[in-house]
Amino acid sequence: MHVPDGFISAPWSLATGVVAAGAVALALRGARRELDDRTAPLAGLVATFVFAGQMVNFPVAAGTSGHLLGGALAAVLVGPWTATLCLTVVLLVQALLFADGGLTALGTNVILMGVIGVWVGYAVFRLTARAMTAAATRHRPLVPLAAGVGAFVSVPAAAAGFALLFAVGGTAPIALSTLLSAMVGVHLAIGVGEAVITALVVGSVLAVRPDLVHGARGLLPTRTLVSHAEAVS
């Protein structure tokens, strides 16, 4: 879902660039609360994994593919502010080195994947996790499940973001309803793949280092987290 140069008009590209820069500035402040000596190394790893994951297109229908966006995944693992930073670095390197996403569209792509994808994914994850926690007795499997739900919603949300942005700043005449339904329709299918990958990866990290998973804080019994950290040190 990397928007190339030319889709969004110059003034709107400038506007998205300004908004994206503001979001990154806020994220730099917010990430202070999420990152410490223990969790900082995970952030680099998450961004690297998202970069790798975005290279793997999976088929969703005849002649159409999708790939991991990674916003919800990063938000659950390292926190939403840090996730916005991770996605921004990924999109910057993709645009600069590989012209994967246009340079003038960098702000647009940061908003779609690094802001909408991350924050919608994280919000839905939190709401789902809270609802599930209230209903269940075993909490550990809930984190990857809720992460999957957040990931699923994040993809059509980013797709809808593109349709809305194109309606105001796009360079071709198309009815919003037409573009919106086409974008959301395809990306609901891609969201299923996003959900599966996200749930599997979050589950795997939880199995190895539950203490590092940002989204699991307050959901898993603290006894597990403390005893593990002390057992290895």
Partner 1 sequence: MSHSPDVSTTTTRAGRTWWVLGLGVALFVAGVISRFASSAPDGLERVTEDHGIAEQAVGSVGLLSYGGATTLLGLGLVLVLTSALSWAVRTRGR
CA pair distance 18, 22, nearest whole angstrom: 6
22 near partner 1, judged by CB under 8 A: no
Cβ neighbours around 119 below 10 Å, total: 20
Instruction: Describe the crossing of helices 176-208 and 142-169 by its angle, rounded to 10 degrees.
Output: 150
**What would the x/- binding string for partner 1 be over residues 114 to 153, using CB under 8 A?**
----------------------------------------
Give the residue from 40, 208, 214, 32 showing the smallest Cα distance to 118: 214
17 near partner 1, judged by CB under 8 A: no
CA pair distance 111, 23, nearest whole angstrom: 8
Nearer to partner 1, 78 or 145 (CB): 78
Token digits of residue 228: 């593990």
Binding residues for partner 1, rule CB under 8 A, total 77
Length of the chain, in residues: 233
Nearer to partner 1, 148 or 161 (CB): 161
67 near partner 1, judged by CB under 8 A: yes
Among 14, 19, 21, 28, binds partner 1 (CB under 8 A): 28
Among 41, 136, 177, 224, binds partner 1 (CB under 8 A): 41
